[in-house]
Amino acid sequence: MVLTAEKEVIKNRLSSNALKVLEKRYLRKDENGKIIETPDEMFRRVAKAIAKADILYDPNADIRKTEEEFYRIMSNLEFLPNSPTLMNAGTELGQLSACFVLPVEDSIDSIFDAVKATALIHKSGGGTGFSFSKIRPKNDAVRSTGGIASGPVSFMKVFDVATEVIKQGGRRRGANMGILRVDHPDIIEFITAKEESTAFNNFNISVALTDKFMEALEKEEDYELINPRTKQIVKKLPAKDVFDLIVSMAWKNGEPGIIFIDRINEFNPTPHIGEIESTNPCGEQPLLPYESCNLGSINLSKMVKDGEIDYEKLIRTVRIAVHFLDNVIDVNKYPLPQIESITKANRKIGLGVMGFADMLIKLGIPYDSEEAINIAEKVMKIIKEEARKASSELAEKRGCFPNFKGSIYDVQGGIKLRNASLTTIAPTGSISIIAGCSSGIEPLFAICYTRNVLEGEKLIEINPLFEEIARKEGFYSEELMKEIAEKGSLKEIDGIPENIKRIFVTAHDISPEWHVRMQAAFQKYTDNAVSKTVNFPNNAKIDDVRRVYMLAYKLGCKGVTVYRDASREEQVLETKRTEMERKFQKAKKQTPDKAYGVRLRKKTGCGNIYTKVFSNECNEPIEIFITLGKAGGCAAAFTEGLARACSLALKYGASLKELVDELMGISCHKQEGIGQNRVLSCIDAVAKSIQEMFDQKTDQRITDKKFNGLGACPICGSQVIYIEGCLRCISCNFSQCE
């Protein structure tokens, strides 16, 4: 394909990693998978499709002019909408929103209606959030059948499996947020739901903390658990014990995150329409049931000129972006009529930022400084004020959002607005790669790192601003870059001026308190919420996480996600050092002098085999013994060898389920039994024995605070991904982000 000069210019603005991401997920392909679109044509396709909404309000509108404005800010990488808009605008699919929240009521019909809606949304490219707080708790009565309820966590598994088998529009993997109120009777089971790394991999989870709970925590008092079906108090728990469990689990693998649900509803713009119960998968977009929201982010690194912030350009970009996002609501193709109805009634948009760390570097300001906090507040205040002005002007031309009467703006007698909410700070996982800037408001993860994306593909990235300065200042060398690639941070590297090191601080150079302060600075002028991961080094303590959670509440954040480096088997961003830490972080557990065992006998083709699983005082499986009848010789050696291998795996952090998954189904010529009771081999018998013991202890696993298959919390015995996102994520919770 022959490119015009303009197309060549746009292509040259994009990094090699940006081009890879675009080719993999965004550019249109024919039925054979061949790319039939250039990046320039993608921006043109999106601009043209979104500009058409102007005709709905003014038949004489100059949509060509609008199209050029939209095209310019995207092709200059000054603003990008969320991924579904880039992928689907101007296509037959036409689903443009990233964020959805679906209601889950306490009935089978509602639950499986939500599962079906989730499948449709994921197929179209969106992510979904749910509150499971209305589902009756485990062992509660089910009058229609005379049976007992299985509880919200069991139903989460249905959503998780459905997500696993659906690829979002063929290009985005399904993402969910699961939320449970802290006063739900099944809260302990929920907090520990992702204790094993294989559980709920398509979910970020967060606990909705109430003001009442936080007051009880501060006073070290008990708080009430309430059955959502009967509205009756069923139990009381010490707030400190529950909070400690949340903290220890988050320390371990980053989840659950927390949201302050009463604070979120304090800023609910349409309380007369309903109560907010959940957020989108990365936590930055609280929404009413069936609401959707389309997001977009301004690239702040493009708002710096000659070492100063170009406020005129920023204001101009904000106004065009608000126009763009409002138009998206009208041209969008919604997956459900209920979603279209409430989305158009409230017209929420989420304008945010990316490239904030790059902006600070261009200004010569360290991320962890009072000056950076002041810049964050000033920039976000301007974005919020100008977004409201733009929305007010649209309201004059197009009318207020239909649910304006009775909204907080109406009650307070403020300005008339086109949109119920305007600003959101999203993680910008993929679109920041396209824009070639730092993600959201996060600091640099590393000066050089490996980004794990796109179904296992790895992208190596070196910060272009650092390379530019290194060459300009004369200290660039291939050897230096290799050393930085190994360590990620500049902190321990010689030969780099201290003032450069101070500006190029990374996420792990910055104390967790500065992470929270920066999140709070942006939250101060953000309508919705802020996606931000508070990074911890691998050697962080549980108390460090506790302090961050309390600081986030004190400073007015609407939620917080943490991630301790290398605490998961996989993470989105990593350096060589964190990769090694992650692989070798699990210390070998010591065999205690006293252990507690369970034995199970099973008949095999070689005779009876006895499998014994022993646990330490924290109820962690720690050792396995296997005996094959009265056998000796090779048979005895074989079973002893298998037992030692299994025990060693447990001591290095493997779970009983992982052992079962590896051993189950191995067969030999001496089989025993029929049907479900058939034993294929001695190894299969061991797996089946462990499985039976595992199943019998399911209730204990979940409710006994001393049980922890991946390591015991020194405080309460239980333990803790965003990711981002997403992060998840974290926050991660992740996620993906995108």
By annotation, the residues acting in catalysis are 280, 282, 284
Residue 9 and residue 148: Cα distance in Å, rounded?
A: 65
In degrees and rounded to multiples of 5, residue 261 shows phi and psi of -65, -35
In degrees and rounded to multiples of 5, residue 192 shows phi and psi of -95, 10
The residue count for the chain: 738
Residue 178 and residue 187: Cα distance in Å, rounded?
A: 12
What does the DSSP assignment read for 266-329?
A: HT-S-TTT----EE-TTSS-EE-TT-EEEEEEEEGGGGEETTEE-HHHHHHHHHHHHHHHHHHH
Kindly state the helix (H) or strand (E) to which residue 19 belongs, with its residue range.
helix 16-21
Residue owning tokens 């290799």: 482
Q: What is the Cβ-side half-sphere exposure of residue 5, based on CA atoms within 13 angstroms? A: 0
The number of beta carbons lying within 10 Å of the beta carbon of residue 299 is 27
Residue 388 and residue 505: Cα distance in Å, rounded?
A: 34
Residue 221 and residue 234: Cα distance in Å, rounded?
A: 17
Residue 323 and residue 330: Cα distance in Å, rounded?
A: 11
| Helix, strand, or coil (residue 354) | strand
Residue owning tokens 């294929």: 680
Residue 95 and residue 124: Cα distance in Å, rounded?
A: 6
Residue 148 and residue 136: Cα distance in Å, rounded?
A: 10
Strand-pair category, 172-173 with 176-181: unpaired
**543, burial (CB in 10 Å: exposed 0-12, middle 13-18, buried 19+):** exposed
Bridge partners of residue 100, in order along the sequence: 128, 292
- Positions of E strands within 87-161: 99-102, 127-131, 141-142, 147-148
Beta carbons of 86 and 435 less than 8 angstroms apart: no
Residue 492 and residue 505: Cα distance in Å, rounded?
A: 12
Q: For residue 581, how far is the Cα from the chain centroid?
A: 22
Over its C-alpha atoms, the chain yields an Rg (Å, rounded) of 27
Q: What is the Cβ-side half-sphere exposure of residue 492, based on CA atoms within 13 angstroms? A: 10
Kindly state the helix (H) or strand (E) to which residue 548 belongs, with its residue range.
helix 542-554
Residue 339 and residue 553: Cα distance in Å, rounded?
A: 32
Instruction: Quote the DSSP letter at residue 504.
Output: S
Cis peptide before 256 (omega within 30 of 0): yes
Residues 6+ apart with CB under 8 A from 31: none
Beta carbons of 575 and 487 less than 8 angstroms apart: yes
What does the DSSP assignment read for 33-82?
A: S-B---HHHHHHHHHHHHHGGGGGT-TT--HHHHHHHHHHHHHTTSEEE-
Find, among 75, 155, 57, 71, the residue nearest to 114 by Cα: 155
Bridge partners of residue 447, in order along the sequence: none
Strand-pair category, 167-168 with 304-305: unpaired
Find, among 300, 279, 268, the residue nearest to 527 by Cα: 268
